[in-house]
Structure formats: C-alpha cells, structure tokens
C-alpha cells in the first residue's frame, strides 16, 4: 500500500512540474531564445575588436530583449579585401588576359577599352620608359593591334593556334602589360564613375552564366596561387605609339574564415547580412553564395555593379539610373534598396578602403564600423585613426582588424604586416 501511495505521489509531482514548465514558457516574451545563440569564434580576431563585435551581436540579436523579428537588424560588408584577401574582380581581369577569355571582335574590343574614358594623357605617374606621357589614343591603338593579332591566331577566338603558342608571342606580352597599365592609369587618373565600370566592359557579349563560370574558375585558380608581386614590361620591339610601359600587380586570393564565421554567426543570431561591392554583382555572387567557399549568403543579398543586358547578353554599357557602387554610391544603394526594404539602415558596416568610407559615416543607423586595416591613408585612414584613438575604450564606434599580407591570414591584433615586410604597422605614415 505504501508503495502504491509513493507511486501516486511521484506521478502528481511530475504532473505539477510539467504544468509549471509550460506555464513558465507561456510567460516568456515572444522573442525570447529557447536555445543558446551562436557565439562568434575568436579565431584570429584582435581581442578588443572581437569584444566590440560580439557585444553588438548580443545587444541586437535574438537574445536581446528589444529584438523584433518583424524589423530585423542587418549588416553590410564590402567584398574585395574585406570579406576576402585581394580583389576578385581584379583577379578575374588578369585571368581573362592570360586566357584571352573574351567574346569581342577587334573593333568591339577597341570600343570597350575607350568607353567613357576621357581623351588625352594620363596622370603624372603614368609615363613610358622614355619619360613621356601616355595618352588614351596611343595605348588603345597599340592594344587593338595586339588584340587583332591574338584574335586572328588563337583558336579560342578566330585562329588555329593553342593558348600556349599565342601567349608565348611578343604581341601577347605587349597586350598583357599595356592592358594592365591602362587599367591602373584610368583608375588613378579619373573618377570612380569612369574607372570602376571600365574593367566590366570586357564582359561584353557574354551571358551571365558565362560570367559565373569564368568567375568560379578564376577564383579557384587564384586561391591556389602564391601571394606575390608580379611585374610586366612591354617589349621594345612593339613600342608602338605608347612606348614601353611597365605594370605590376599582386597575385593570389585568400578566403577569410573569420569573416565567413562572422556572417554565419550574425545570421544565426537573427541579423541579416548583405554585401555591397564595387565589383560586378554577378562576379561577387559566385564567391559569396557557393557553399564551397563557406560564406553561404543568399543570392539576393549580394549587391554590386550592374551592366545592361539585352536578350540575356551583357552590353557595353552601365545600367542607367543605377548607382555606381563605390563611395557615396554605396550609401545610395543601401538607402534605395535596403532601407526601403527594412525601414531602417544597417547596424554594422565592414570595409577596407576609401570606397567604403561614405557608407561607414553617412548612415546614422551604423553602430559599429569594422575596418580591415590595410595601413592606408586618405578617408579610410581617418577611420583607422579614429579606431586607434578608441582602443581600450568601451563602446567604440570604429574598430580595426589586422592581417598578414604575406599569408593572407588575419593576425590577432589591430596592426597589419604589409606584403614584403615583417614588422606590423598600425597607421599609415
């Protein structure tokens, strides 16, 4: 009899505990988390920067008492040299050169490289080996001559020779050096509205699917390359109208696991993530959305440059009335697309260059700006200096994250080790 009574007592106690548990859950706020929210992996974060970012997530994510799923917070990241090491668009530009990956006739190529570029000489730093100024007409004329030869000879265009055969020629050496020289000369001489879309016009006559495939194979190739500075000089035998010129660039792309983890952690905490890039939107989408790269963003969350298309084919024209997504153009697209969607601005902006300064400073909603420290001057240098002044203080508005440019990996500090150097630096001198 005592045994039966004990069993009844146990049953009633268990029932009361279950009722109490349901009653407690019923009184929880609708937005209360029932499981532990994902915490940011410490990885190679600078400790103070990690703390500021994690606090931002805690204060604005699903565990916050003020969290409203109907009015979700969101973050905006730059892509090139912020979310990855180096520039995916620039790497693709070089890949196109080395593989002659174009769908342009010589006439179309000549039109593409002149599109919206003012006539005349480039800035002081862009002279030939004889110290003479290089003009658009001179270098474009030489490039069309080179491209015509390559077009007529390479079997991937209209010729019969292999890629190995045509890339061993002086015409290719001239083409490679002068096209990269032109790319840098345009960007350093003219405004962003000229320089940033210019490189995209070399996609003319391609479909979006063709660009996607080209971007993926370029990414994979560049991820396997060493990080090193490469210099090209055009041959004297083909001096042409522009003369002998030299151009340099840095090879190799690298994934940034800390940024991928941050993006995934933000989303796990109910904070949406967007990319706003100065590269072509369809190029960045490949990197940001394919599972093999680890960033795992939705396709629609990638915002970048837009070219016009006709019947699914890219045209040699920037999309009218769409912001050129660099500088104030990034602010414009956030306001016209994201603020219109959410009714408010982003809480976090991550960037690395002068082109990211405006979206870090013009949007009042931004609670934290994360600067990937490239030890640069200019406007982004002002942000870096502001972050340095706030080091050690509570609730910073700007934070810095350093990396080793020799390896492409972050280092757990605000300082950065520049390519070819061993000593870390905090601010540009």
Question: Tens digit of pLDDT for each residue in 54-66?
Answer: 999 999 999 999 9
Residue scoring higher pLDDT (2 or 150): 150
Spatial separation of the C-alpha atoms in residues 182 and 122, rounded to whole Å? 9
Spatial separation of the C-alpha atoms in residues 94 and 220, rounded to whole Å? 13
Give the Å distances, CA to CA, from 410 to 15, 172, 347, 403: 54, 37, 23, 4
pLDDT at 32: 43
Is 35 in a helix, a strand, or coil?
Answer: coil
pLDDT at 37: 80
Give the Å distances, CA to CA, from 116 to 72, 180, 416: 40, 17, 37
Position 308 pLDDT exceeds 80: yes
| Mean pLDDT over the full length of the chain | 93
- Other Cβ atoms less than 10 A from the Cβ of 268: the count is 15
Task: Judge residue 141's burial from the number of C-beta atoms within 10 Å of its C-beta, 0-12 exposed, 13-18 middle, 19 or more buried.
Answer: middle
**pTM listed for this prediction:** 0.91
Mean pLDDT throughout 308-324? 96
Spatial separation of the C-alpha atoms in residues 279 and 285, rounded to whole Å? 10
Pairing outcome for strands 302-305 and 272-280: parallel
Looking from the CA of 157 toward its CB, the CA atoms found within 13 Å total 22
Task: Judge residue 397's burial from the number of C-beta atoms within 10 Å of its C-beta, 0-12 exposed, 13-18 middle, 19 or more buried.
Answer: middle
CA 413 to chain centre: 22
Residue (of 397, 392, 409, 415) closest to 259 by Cα position: 409
- CB of 51 within 8 A of CB of 45? no
Mean pLDDT throughout 90-108? 98
pLDDT at 78: 98
pLDDT interval class at 18 (50, 70, 90): very low
- Other Cβ atoms less than 10 A from the Cβ of 280: the count is 25
Spatial separation of the C-alpha atoms in residues 254 and 131, rounded to whole Å? 36
């Amino acid at each position: 009899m005592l045994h039966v009574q004990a069993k009844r007592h146990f049953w009633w106690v268990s029932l009361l505990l279950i009722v109490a548990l349901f009653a407690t859950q019923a009184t929880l706020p609708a937005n209360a988390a029932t499981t532990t929210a994902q915490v940011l992996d410490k990885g190679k974060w600078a400790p103070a920067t990690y703390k500021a970012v994690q606090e931002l997530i805690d204060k604005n994510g699903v565990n916050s008492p003020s969290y409203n799923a109907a009015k979700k917070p969101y973050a905006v990241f730059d892509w090139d040299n912020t979310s990855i090491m180096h520039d995916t668009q620039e790497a693709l530009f070089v890949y196109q050169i080395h593989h002659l990956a174009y769908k342009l006739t010589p006439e179309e190529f000549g039109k593409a490289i002149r599109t919206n570029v003012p006539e005349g000489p480039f800035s002081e730093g862009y002279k030939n080996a004889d110290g003479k100024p290089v003009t658009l007409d001179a270098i474009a004329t030489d490039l069309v001559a080179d491209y015509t030869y390559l077009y007529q000879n390479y079997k991937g265009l209209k010729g019969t020779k292999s890629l190995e055969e045509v890339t061993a020629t002086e015409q290719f050496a001239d083409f490679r050096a002068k096209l990269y020289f032109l790319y840098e000369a345009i960007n350093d001489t003219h405004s962003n509205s000229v320089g940033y879309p210019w490189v995209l016009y070399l996609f003319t006559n391609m479909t979006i699917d063709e660009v996607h495939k080209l971007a993926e194979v370029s990414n994979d190739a560049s991820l396997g390359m060493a990080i090193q500075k490469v210099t090209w000089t055009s041959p004297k035998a083909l001096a042409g109208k522009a003369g002998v010129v030299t151009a340099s660039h840095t090879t190799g792309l690298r994934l940034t696991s800390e940024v991928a983890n941050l993006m995934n952690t933000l989303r796990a905490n109910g904070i949406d993530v967007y990319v706003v890039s100065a590269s072509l939107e369809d190029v960045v989408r490949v990197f940001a959305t394919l599972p093999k790269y680890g960033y795992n963003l939705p396709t629609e969350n990638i915002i970048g440059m837009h070219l016009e298309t006709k019947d699914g084919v890219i045209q040699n024209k920037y999309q009218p009335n769409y912001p050129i997504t660099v500088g104030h153009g990034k602010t414009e697209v956030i306001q016209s697309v994201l603020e219109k969607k959410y009714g408010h601005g982003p809480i976090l902006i991550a960037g690395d260059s002068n082109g990211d300064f405006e979206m870090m400073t013009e949007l009042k909603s931004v609670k934290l700006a994360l600067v990937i420290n490239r030890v640069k001057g200019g406007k982004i240098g002002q942000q870096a200096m502001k972050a340095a002044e706030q080091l050690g203080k509570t609730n910073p508005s700007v934070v810095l994250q350093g990396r080793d440019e020799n390896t492409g990996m972050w280092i757990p500090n605000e300082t950065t080790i520049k390519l070819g150097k061993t000593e870390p630096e905090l601010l540009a001198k």
